[in-house]
Amino acid sequence: MKINKQKLATSVWQQGQLVEISITDLTDNGDGVGRYDQKVVFVPDTVPGDRLIARLTIVKRKYAYGKLHQLLEKSDLRIEPYCIVADKCGGCQWQHISYEYQLQVKQNQVIQALERIGGLELLEVKPTLPSPSPFGYRNKVTYPLGISATGQVKAGYYQKGSHKLINLNQCPIQDQRLNLLLKEIKQDITRRRWKIYDENNHIGVLRHLSLRIGEKTGEILLTLVVNGSQENPEKLLPGITVEAKKWLEDYSRLVGVCLNYNCKTTNTIFGQQTVCIAGKSYVREKFNGLEFQLTPNTFFQVNTKAAEKLIEVVFEELVLSGSEIIVDAYCGVGTFTLPLAKYLQDVGHNDSLEIGKRKSMVIGLEVQQVAIERARFNAEINNLTNVHFYVGKVESLLPQLEVKPDVVLLDPPRKGCDRSVLETLLEILPERIVYISCKPATLARDLKFLCSTGKYYLSKVQPADFFPQTAHVECAAFLVRF
C-alpha cells in the first residue's frame, strides 16, 4: 500500500489523520507507544522497534489513540501470531510479541510501578517466572454467545475496542482439550434452536457458554448461563435434559453439565444460583499435591502450573519451620491456604485448631460464604486439620483474631487492600507479609504505605506470568519486619 507523503506532511492533529511514528515502549495495558510532533500516540498490536503509519481514532490535545494502518519496518521483537484472528479478537493482546520480550516487559511493569507509585527505589525485582506453557494454559473460559447473519450460533471474544463478537472454533490460549466442545456445542445449540440472549433488548435465553477443565485430571465441566431465575430448565431450553445426557455420552472427559441463572442486566457473567442438569456439579483439580473440587463459578487461578511455580517461591522464601501461625487474607477456596496448611502439617506434624493457643495453623479469611464452604470441603477431603476458615470482610475479621500471626498472606482483588487492613497489619505486626497482586499499581500503592512507616522493608519481589500473550502480570512481594 502506498501512502500519500504530501498528506502525511500537511495533515493536522485530528481524527482520521495518518501519522508516521516509531514505537518506543508499551503501556501497562499492552498498547505500543510512539510520538508525533511531541505528542504521544498509543497504538495496539505494535512492538517497540516498529516503524509504521497509524490512523488516529481518538484525538486529545496532547495525546491520541491510533490504529495500525501500515507497517513500514518490523521490529526484531515482532513474531507471527499463532492465532489467525489475533489482530481482531480481544482475548489477548501480545501474540505478535516474542515470549522472551513479554517476560521482560512484565518485569519492567513491576519495576516502574514500584519506583513511580511506591517510591521504592534500588530494589531487585527478579526476572518474571515464565509460564510452563505460553499457550493452552487457560483451565477456564467463558464465551458470550451470539447469532451470525446465517443464523448459526457464535461464541468467542469481543473485537478489540468494540462489542462485535469474534466467532471462535478453537483458541490457542485455552486448554486444547476444550476445543472440540467449543465447536460441537455451538452446533448442537443451533440445532436445538435455543434462543440466544440479546443484551440490547434483554430478551432471549442463552447468555454464555462456560467450560472448565481440571488441568491435571482432564475432567471438564460445561455450564450454560441463562437469562432466568430458578425456572424449569426444560421451559427455558426445551430438550436440555436429553441433550446434557447425550453430551456426557459423546465427550469422555465431560463429567457434568450445569445451568447458571442470571437475569440481571449487568455485565456480571454468573448469577448466584447454579443447578446440575447431568453428571457432577464440579471438576476435580490437583494443585500442589492437593485435590480441589471446583464448581462453575469458583475462583481459581486459570493457569494451574504457573500458580504452582509461584507457591514454590513462597515456600522457599518463607522457610517455614512448621510451628507458625499463618493468616491467608482474601483466601477464596483455599488456593494458597491449603498448600500452606499441608506444608506446616508435613513439617511440624502439628494439627491443632485451638484458637487462642500458640499452635501451628493456617487461618483463611474470605467475604464470600460460598467460597468458604468450598474451602472447608477441600480441606476435609485432603485431611487437613490445621486450617480454619472465617467468613467476612478482611478489614473486619483481621483485628478480631485471637491469635498473633507470624505470617500474613495478602491476595486481594485488583483494587488492592482496604486501608484499614494495612493499618491493622501495622498494629499486629506479623514478622513477615507476603503480598500477591495482579495489578502492579495497587501493589505499589499498598507497599508504599507499609514501608513508609519504617516497620517493614521489602526483601524480594517476584513477578510471575499467569497470563501469557496478555499484558497482565502477577507478582509476589515479600515484606520483613525491622
CA distance 320 to 247: 47
DSSP-derived 3-state class of residue 300: coil
In contact, 214 and 286? CB cutoff 8 Å: yes
Residue 274's closest CA among 208, 185, 188, 177? 208
DSSP-derived 3-state class of residue 44: coil
User: How many alpha carbons lie under 13 Å from residue 207 in its C-beta half-sphere?
Assistant: 22
Joined together, the cell numbers standing for residue 418 give 482496604
Is 438 part of the annotated catalytic residue set?
yes
In contact, 157 and 169? CB cutoff 8 Å: no
Q: Which of 92, 171, 438, 475 is catalytic?
A: 438
Return contacts of 107-110, CB within 8 angstroms, 24+ apart: 107/463, 109/28, 109/440, 109/463, 109/471, 109/473, 110/440, 110/443, 110/461, 110/463, 110/473, 110/475
Q: b/e for 284-307, b at 16 or more Cβ within 10 A?
A: bbebbebebbbbbbbebbbbbbbb
Q: Looking at the annotation, which residues are catalytic?
A: 438
